[in-house]
Structure 1
Amino acid sequence: MAGAEARLDEAGVSLWLTNWPTSAGGAWTGRRILALVGGALAGQLDVLVHPDGQAVSVWWLEVQPDFQGWNLASVMMDALYAAHPTAWIDHGGRTPEGVMWWDRYNEPDPQRNIHNRPPAEWARYFDALEVEAQKAQNAYSNRIAGVDGHRGAVYRYDERVEEEAKHHAAQFREPSPRGPDPAAEALYSGMSLHLPPGLHRLVHDGGRDPGERARMLVEHVGHGNLPHDAAWHTTERAAYEDIAHAELFSDPSVQPATHLTVRVLPVSGSPLPDHDVKATWVTYLDSPGIPVQLARMSWRAPERPWLTHSVDLAVPVEAAIGPRLWQKASPEYRASYNFLGERHPVAGAPGPFAGREEEIREVADRLLGESARRNSQAPEVASRSAPRQPLPQQSPAPPPVRRGR
């Protein structure tokens, strides 16, 4: 890795090895190496990692147009070898651009590239027949492009080895996913919120009770709006990582102001809601609205991730993972929530301001006092001043928008 990095000089490049939330791979874990320049996304390398960590499949390598020529592709690939120092690596087939890059690339450990070794050594991890097809494709692409493609390192380059591949193909076994169990494990997920300025100041005010601020956030999001289209992990860190990862690929002109994660207790009841189990997470892509117990909330501003606010709820709050489509929401969900994910009013239940009379009185007194102070400092205006010019007609300001589906 040092060789490729040495050619970057003072470019200000950083690398981030993060989760790759892909639906592909089954039991293989999606991982992504991101190259960042000044915090902006410059390139990415997507891979799948075998459950035992001893095999890596390269799926995609890309550098953004504005950052090509910086040697970033080599830096990311070197980082992959360093992150998995003992694993077999399958580079797969190559695009025309990939063929030209590979011819220039100085592979740090060619002996771990399965294209360079006999299938008897790695066939338990990869389909030998599929790998031979990739090798044949790459050999053809090399000839078309007129490049060597490190052919001297490739095992029996450009030879017919189908029989050998067939002999070892039976060794390959696809592992079964063994991800989280929603019926037995507490799970975390997260979302990005662009809060109204006033609410943003309140929920990030460390001087206020964290339980009260958590209640504000729940009311803003909606008790029935926990994310159905995001991954649910076994750790809070993974949930935060998902949010930050998604922001790198979002519209840079819209920056969420708050990252919020929630922890829900194991889903009770039978049968268990339909879910898709991956290597380290689950999803509820077809959620009809799943009742859960909200047990923890944590939030922070992306520009200050070290300052995290959190609260463990002594009494878990009734909430729900939102339905994918309101039209397919279950009768139980509709009985508790409206189409915005807000709870229906309960007959006889106290209003939202019940028990907060003293707090409201203090706020009112403070506002009245500040208004009186400003009036006392205002300069006197002559009673016979010139008549005011009529103000131009303006459209009323739109009401604040709550987050809903």
Structure 2
Amino acid sequence: MMMDALYAAYPTAWINHGMRSADGTRWWDRYDEPAPQRNVHNRPPAEWAHYFDPLVVAAQKARNAYRNRYDGVHGHRDVVYRYGEPMEAEAREHAHAFHEPVDALGPDPQADDLYGGIRVVLPPGLHRIVHDSSRGAAERAGLLLDHLGHGSLPPGAAWNVTEHGALEDLAHEEVFGTAARQPATHLTFRIRPLPGRQLPPHDVKATWVRFVDSPGIEVELAGMSWRSPRRAWLTHTAVFDPPVDAAIAPKYPADASPQYRARYSEIGDLLPGQTARRTGNPSPFAGREAEILALADRVRQGVGRRAADRPGTALGQQAPADHPVHPQHQHPQQHTPRIR
């Protein structure tokens, strides 16, 4: 019912069923797929590669093929095209059936807000504080960031165009993860656009971008959100205004850029002497101290010269008027026209 509902709810979308477990393999063998032509495992990569990573899909298909053989089931092999063949051969084989290749415009890191996330198991005391709704969200987000390190934003994350997409990635990781189950907090970061930055190589898809072998990328962290492990419908959100300086961690510590090493340790903590910084609009007076002092000095000199031109006038006092003002000029009479 869930799979039928998925196909019905998204009648034109590509669908990737991913990698199946042992129970999933036996279930899949009995399942009658409503629209197998929209299953990416059944179509050439040129049709759907703007939405999914072909190498990941190929690995999923290979794993599913192994499970089919291991469990002795058919698994709709006649629909899933050519297990194990090179993609180029598959493309040539199915060239006659190609649809118009998808022309999806993915996110631009230099123009779009991006959302990435990690699953983190927090110490018990910090876990209680972070999920305590009676405390301010900004305070709890600050504690989280200090615990993780300002330079520890996830280097391998797929940075999505929506927060929901980032949280979906984390949920998918948890479902298919093989590590021992512990109550992990799903945490997302919102980074602002990176205009004018020299970005490392990155892989762009329709709704996400992934930085390849990141050397440590300085970003403006504009907000954080996290979900309760026990109550996934409860999301805590903190907005940083102005944003906080942070960094996407290097993929490999040895490849960290000099700028990253100058500010962060290998585990992403701020180095001694480095402090968290806000990236709001700078003060209009910052860096202009000498200019302001020179202007004030010119003003004082001008006042002094004008006072010297009027003998007997102390600096800062108004010189007496040359002619007395007649009282009638101070309070002119108001004449009301007579009604005739």
TM range (shorter): 0.5 to 0.7
Query: Which of 188, 204, 224 is the aligned partner of 1:261?
Result: 188
> How far, CA to CA, are the matches of 1:196 and 1:114 in structure 2?
45
- In structure 1, the residue matched to 2:197 is 270
- Checking the alignment, whether the CA contact within 8 Å between 2:160 and 2:209 is kept in structure 1 is yes
Matched, 1:245 2:172: yes
- In structure 1, the residue matched to 2:268 is 341
Is the partner of 2:110 in helix, strand or coil?
coil
Is the partner of 1:100 in helix, strand or coil?
coil
Query: Which of 232, 239, 251 is the aligned partner of 1:305?
Result: 232
- Checking the alignment, whether the CA contact within 8 Å between 2:29 and 2:73 is kept in structure 1 is no
Q: TM-score, normalised by structure 1?
A: 0.52
Query: Which of 116, 123, 146 is the aligned partner of 1:219?
Result: 146
What is the identity, as a one-letter code, of the residue corresponding to 1:327? A
What is the identity, as a one-letter code, of the residue corresponding to 1:323? P
Change (3 A) 1:216 1:17: farther
Change (3 A) 1:346 1:240: same
1:257 deviates by 2.3
User: Which of 1 and 2 has greater Rg?
Assistant: 2
Is the partner of 2:241 in helix, strand or coil?
strand
Aligned pairs for 1:108-127 (under 5 A) are none
Change (3 A) 1:17 1:206: farther
Matched, 1:207 2:129: no
Is the partner of 1:220 in helix, strand or coil?
helix
Is the partner of 1:241 in helix, strand or coil?
helix
- In structure 1, the residue matched to 2:159 is 232
- Checking the alignment, whether the CA contact within 8 Å between 2:28 and 2:75 is kept in structure 1 is no
Change (3 A) 1:16 1:282: farther
> How far, CA to CA, are the matches of 1:226 and 1:335 in structure 2?
17
> How far, CA to CA, are the matches of 2:93 and 2:137 in structure 1?
55
Any unmatched runs of 5+ in structure 1? 6-13, 19-30, 32-48, 106-112, 116-125, 132-164, 351-405
Is the partner of 2:74 in helix, strand or coil?
helix
- Checking the alignment, whether the CA contact within 8 Å between 1:57 and 1:90 is kept in structure 2 is no
Any unmatched runs of 5+ in structure 2? 45-60, 82-88, 277-340
> How far, CA to CA, are the matches of 1:80 and 1:317 in structure 2?
47
- In structure 2, the residue matched to 1:78 is 33
- Checking the alignment, whether the CA contact within 8 Å between 1:222 and 1:341 is kept in structure 2 is yes
Aligned pairs for 1:278-297 (under 5 A) are 278-297=205-224
Query: Which of 238, 248, 257 is the aligned partner of 1:330?
Result: 257
Change (3 A) 1:99 1:203: closer
Change (3 A) 1:260 1:57: closer
- Checking the alignment, whether the CA contact within 8 Å between 2:29 and 2:76 is kept in structure 1 is no
> Over the residues paired in the alignment, what is the CA RMSD in angstroms?
4.0
Q: TM-score, normalised by structure 2?
A: 0.60
- In structure 1, the residue matched to 2:106 is 179
What is the aligned length? 245
1:207 deviates by 0.4
- Checking the alignment, whether the CA contact within 8 Å between 1:202 and 1:213 is kept in structure 2 is yes
Change (3 A) 1:333 1:172: same
Greater strand share, 1 or 2?
1
Is the partner of 2:247 in helix, strand or coil?
strand
Over the matched positions of the two proteins, sequence identity in percent amounts to: 42
- In structure 2, the residue matched to 1:130 is 93
Change (3 A) 1:72 1:197: same
> How far, CA to CA, are the matches of 2:15 and 2:235 in structure 1?
36
- In structure 2, the residue matched to 1:315 is 242
> How far, CA to CA, are the matches of 2:3 and 2:102 in structure 1?
30
